[in-house]
Amino acid sequence: MNTSELQRHAELLQKLCRLCGHEIDLRYKYDKHHFNEELGDMYGMDLNFDLDHIHPSAQAKGKEGKKFTTDLIPFSFDKHTDKCKICLLSNDSEGEAKRGRPKKRKILKPEKIIKEWKNEQDDDEIPSKALKDNSTECKHSEVQINCKPCFSYVKKQFCTLFKNRKEDEKLMIVKEFMLELDTSDISLFAYVIGLQQRKSIKEDAQSFAMMYKDLDTVAKFKSNDWLQDRNPVVKNFCFGMCGLPSNSSTMDDNQTLIVMTTVEQSYKLCEPKLVSPFAFLQNLCIYSLTGSKQAVDIVGKTKPAGCYKTVVSKY
Q: What is the pLDDT of residue 314?
A: 63
Q: What is the pLDDT of residue 4?
A: 80
Bridge partners (DSSP) of residue 11 are none
Q: Is the CA virtual torsion 151, 157, 159, 161 positive or negative?
A: negative
Q: What is the average pLDDT across 7-12?
A: 85
Confidence of residue 193 (pLDDT cuts 50, 70, 90): very high
Q: What is the pLDDT of residue 117?
A: 42
Q: Which pLDDT tens digit goes with each residue over 76-102?
A: 888 888 888 888 777 655 554 445 555
Q: What is the pLDDT of residue 19?
A: 84
Of 28 and 252, which is predicted with more confidence? 252
Judged against a pLDDT cut of 60, whether residue 182 lies above it is answered with: yes
Q: Which pLDDT tens digit goes with each residue over 116-145?
A: 444 544 433 434 444 444 444 566 666 676
Judged against a pLDDT cut of 50, whether residue 303 lies above it is answered with: yes
Judged against a pLDDT cut of 90, whether residue 200 lies above it is answered with: yes
Instruction: Concatenate the DSSP letters of all residues of the chain into one string.
Output: --HHHHHHHHHHHTTBBTTT-PBPPGGGEEEGGGGHHHHHHHH---GGG--TTTS-SEEE-GGGGGG--TTPPPP------TT-HHHHHHHHHHHHHHSSS--PPPPP-HHHHHHHHHHH--GGGSPPHHHHHHTTTS--SS--TTSHHHHHHHHHHHHHHHTT--HHHHHHHHHHHHHTS-HHHHHHHHHHHHHHHHHHHHHHHHHHTTGGG-HHHHHT--HHHHHHTS-HHHHHHHHHHHTPPTT-----HHHHHHHHHHHHHHHHHH-TT---HHHHHHHHHHHHHH--HHHHHHHHHHSSS--HHHHHHH-
Whether this prediction's pTM lies above 0.85 is answered by no
Q: What is the average pLDDT across 201-230?
A: 89
Q: What is the pLDDT of residue 134?
A: 46
End-to-end CA distance of the chain: 67
Q: Which pLDDT tens digit goes with each residue over 227-276?
A: 999 999 999 999 998 888 877 777 888 888 999 999 999 999 999 999 99
Question: 262: closest CA among 243, 283, 284, 278?
Answer: 278
Average model confidence (pLDDT) across the chain: 79
Judged against a pLDDT cut of 50, whether residue 74 lies above it is answered with: yes
Q: What is the largest CA-CA distance in the chain?
A: 90
